[in-house]
Every structure is written in C-alpha cells, then in structure tokens.
C-alpha cells in the first residue's frame, strides 16, 4: 500500500509547496479568524483547507450522481427486459411451431453417447 500511496503524497506535498511559493509568498493574503488576521503560511493553509473541503464535497456529489445514474440504468434495464418478455409471450403462439420443429431436429441430429 505504501508503494501506491507514496507517489500521491509526493505530488500533494509538491503541490502544497508550489502553492505556498507562488501564492502565499507572492500575494498579500489576509484571512480573518475570530477578529484576528492571519497572513502568510497560516492564511495559505486555511485557504487550502477550504479548497480541500470544497473538493471533497464535489467528489461526494459526483459519487452520488453516479449511484443515481447506475440505479436508473438498472431500472431501465429491468423495464426493457419486461417489455421483451411481454413481446415474447404475445408472439409465443407464432413461435411454438418453430420451436417444436427446432426441438425435433435437435433430437434427431444429436450425438448419442455410449455408456460404458
């Protein structure tokens, strides 16, 4: 598991480092928490926490949408199967002679296995 997680941790750490270098050092960000202004790295960390929270909410929303679409597709698949079975039952008097002839041909043509 560590071999799979380590590259992601490196990418995240590099992203945070680049965000700090280009964002927190270059700009004058000011976040007010309980009447106290936070600058620099503290402000960048709090801003990044908010962005991570929003990203997590987006991922959860997309997962729920995927579940809803998967459930809808299963329901539609069941409706399609029900329609197919309904058509099969409606046309079964026409299919009965064809199925009977196919069964007779299958019984005549089949290979008999010798029992030892």
Q: Structural domain tally of the chain?
A: 1
- 46 neighbors 33 (Cβ within 8 angstroms): yes
- Would residue 115 count as lying in a domain? no
- What is the average pLDDT score of the chain? 81
Residue 65 has pLDDT above 90, yes or no: yes
- Would residue 92 count as lying in a domain? yes
Counting runs of H as helices and runs of E as strands, what totals does the chain give?
3, 2
Q: What mean pLDDT is predicted for residues 40-69?
A: 83
pLDDT band for position 30 (50/70/90)? low
**Domain range holding 90?**
2-109
- Would residue 116 count as lying in a domain? no
- Would residue 114 count as lying in a domain? no
């Amino acid at each position: 598991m560590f071999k799979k997680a380590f590259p992601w941790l490196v990418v995240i750490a590099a992203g945070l480092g680049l965000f700090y270098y280009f964002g927190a050092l270059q700009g004058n960000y000011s976040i007010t928490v309980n009447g106290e202004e936070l600058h620099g790295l503290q402000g960048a960390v709090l801003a990044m926490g908010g962005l991570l929270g929003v990203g997590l909410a987006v991922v959860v929303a997309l997962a729920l949408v995927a579940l809803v679409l998967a459930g809808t597709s299963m329901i539609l698949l069941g409706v399609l199967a029900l329609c197919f079975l309904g058509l099969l039952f409606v046309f079964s008097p026409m299919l009965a002679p064809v199925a009977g002839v196919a069964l007779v041909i299958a019984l005549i043509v089949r290979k008999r296995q010798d029992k030892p």
